[in-house]
Amino acid sequence: MRRGEASTDRIASVRVSAATLPLKGAISDAKVLTGRQKPLRDVAFLFAEIRTESGLEGVGFSYSKRKGGAGQFAHAREVAPDLIGEDPSDIQRIWTKLVWAGASVGRSGLATQAIAAFDIALWDLKAKRAGLPLAKLLGAHRDSVACYNTSGGFLSSSIEEVIENAHATAASGIGGVKIKVGQPDTRLDLRRVAAVKEAIGDRIDLMVDANQQWNRSTAVRMGRAFEEFDLTWIEEPLDAYDAEGHADLARELATPIATGEMLTSVAEHAELIRRRGADFIQPDAPRVGGITPFLKIMALGEAAHLRMAPHYVMELHLHLAAAYEHDPWVEHFDWLEPLFNERLETEGGRMLVPARPGIGVSLSDQARAWTTAAETFGA
């Protein structure tokens, strides 16, 4: 059989666009309070829209907080022409082709985050061709996933505001709330967690996130102090690349450790998993290069019997979490809702997998209005 005889369709056009999503107000976590970053005011998005000769369409996206969005768009523009004429079902081969097209600037980080938008669009298209939600195409273990809210727990909000947000979260059908810690004065963290725990009791789960701002000794001390609050996990207590330190903490503390959102490749996640550096792995599909590498991380996590709580982008990660074996969580952020015409539903502490084919989202008029640059390749 000659190459391509089994193909049923070809990619006819690719549109890449950049958009800036403004937040309602500036937000801060521990990285801001320690002087490492400035408050977050907006999120840069990269969109890929792929159309085939038969008229099928897929949409994918990547993102960057603070810096990097322009770089992602520039790299996507360079490699987009390489998609024209390809069979859209050959997703793994296309991913490899695009990675090697820009291999001199690396096979992780910004380069693969640009490729992620194309990869996600191809998986969206493939699921639409099958007439299935992405979770069902991958093979779902469940039709809903436990979900927790983060957007109301930032350090830029007062304790009173965080408590009010936690009550609203519990009333909305979301199953947990995560609050930020990692302040230079650790006593403030303890007061914050104690106040929220007293307010919500056992109605919903409680998680904390230090955003990599503790050293090893502080992480041990704070982890032990937090044990009385029965936390679901402590997130990013150490630098994201300190797999050894996270492994020591996971052995030392009774509270589970969650980390992985800042890792940008399968190899980095493989090292974290090999060292048993997390009880919950937290991969982010746009950050690791799309769904194709994310599935490899899922396989490693399943084999190690770890739980998973993907970072951010619930619109996509809900499908991937539904296809994960070991009882996952998904992160609820309403920030992205203006970008899409569709909405996700929560009920009884869980997020429901939508019945819509593909990822189940389409770009809104508002997303088009926020577009800062765009280019189309092909017919």
Q: Is there a catalytic annotation at residue 75?
A: no
Residue type, 294: F
Q: Which residues on adjacent β-strands are paired with residue 50?
A: 14, 58
Distance CA 162, CA 200 (A): 11
Q: Is there a catalytic annotation at residue 180?
A: yes
Structure tokens that stand for 73 in this block: 């768009």
What are the DSSP E strand ranges found in 28-143?
40-52, 57-65
Distance CA 124, CA 342 (A): 15
Does residue 236 contact residue 30 with C-beta atoms inside 8 Å? no
Q: Which member of 75, 180, 246, 296 is catalytic? A: 180
Phi, psi of 87 (to 5 degrees): -75, 120
Asked whether the CA dihedral 87, 89, 95, 96 is positive or negative, the reply is: negative
Q: Which member of 31, 296, 311, 332 is catalytic? A: 311
Distance CA 349, CA 347 (A): 6
Structure tokens that stand for 368 in this block: 């088009």
Distance CA 130, CA 117 (A): 20
Active site amino acids: 180, 311
